[in-house]
């Protein structure tokens, strides 16, 4: 049984800026990768300091976009990758790949296309409950991916062994 791939992004959004700050995705064996994203210069207007984001930290410790794109190409080629469908994930993925002049090697789809036995509200309620049960902070993308993996396992889409 193939393990579905999941992806989640965190981002900064204000009237002045909109860009991804962190990303997590799952691999074929169920492991996850997560990275802080070094923002592209075009995403940061001059001397503006976005609220709730340490831009200096992202610039110093974030993964350069070309390295992130390379990893996503290696890990998710020709895959359907599922998201919680709550965030502007597709727009954020497009920003990442447009910044390096490439196209994403995968197709994004909402988790409702994978888990068809529940409606979108039931999926979201169950995902939130799993995050609460596991003590996961919802703002961390790796926790979002982990909750989706748990949900897929509960729905019989992942072999528990």
In this structure, what CATH number is given to the domain that contains residue 131?
3.30.420.10
Q: Which residue has the higher pLDDT, 30 or 6?
A: 6
Q: Whole-prediction pTM value? A: 0.93
Q: Is residue 161 part of a domain?
A: no
Starting at the edge strand found earlier in the chain, the sheet holding 18-26 runs 32-36, 18-26, 5-13, 80-83, 107-110
- 49 belongs to a structural domain: yes
Number of domains in the chain: 1
Q: For residue 160, tell me if it sits in a domain.
A: no
What is the Cα–Cα distance from 45 to 130, expressed in whole angstroms?
A: 38
Range scoring the smallest mean pLDDT among 12-16, 36-40, 55-59, 69-73: 12-16
pLDDT value of position 76: 97
8 Å CB contact between 82 and 6: yes
Q: Establish if 84 belongs to a structural domain.
A: yes
Based on the number of CB atoms within 10 Å of its own CB, is 148 exposed (0-12), middle (13-18) or buried (19 or more)?
buried
Question: Would you say residue 132 lies in a domain?
Answer: yes
Question: Range of 88's domain?
Answer: 5-154
More confident residue, 138 or 95: 95
Does the structure show a pLDDT above 70 at 161?
Answer: no
Q: Is residue 1 pLDDT above 60, yes or no?
A: no
Q: Is residue 159 assigned to a domain? A: no
Q: Residue 149 CB: number of other CB atoms within 10 A?
A: 21
Whether residue 17 is predicted with pLDDT greater than 80 in this model: the reply is yes
Mean of the pLDDT values across residues 56-64? 94
Q: 90-113 pLDDT, tens per residue?
A: 999 999 999 999 999 999 999 999
Whether residue 115 is contained in a domain is answered as yes
């Amino acid at each position: 049984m193939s393990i579905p791939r999941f992806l989640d992004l965190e981002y900064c959004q204000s009237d002045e800026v909109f860009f991804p700050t962190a990303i997590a995705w799952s691999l074929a064996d169920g492991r996850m990768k997560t990275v802080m994203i070094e923002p592209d210069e075009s995403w940061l207007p001059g001397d503006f300091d976005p609220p709730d984001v340490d831009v200096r930290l992202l610039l110093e410790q974030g993964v350069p976009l070309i390295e992130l794109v390379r990893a996503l190409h290696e890990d998710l080629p020709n895959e359907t990758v599922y998201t919680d469908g709550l965030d502007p994930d597709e727009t954020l993925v497009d920003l990442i790949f447009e910044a390096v002049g490439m196209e994403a090697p995968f197709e994004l789809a909402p988790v409702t296309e994978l888990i068809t036995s529940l409606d979108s509200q039931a999926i979201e309620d169950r995902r939130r409950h799993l995050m609460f049960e596991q003590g996961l902070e919802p703002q961390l993308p790796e926790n979002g991916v982990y909750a989706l993996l748990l949900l897929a396992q509960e729905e019989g889409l992942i072999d528990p062994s």
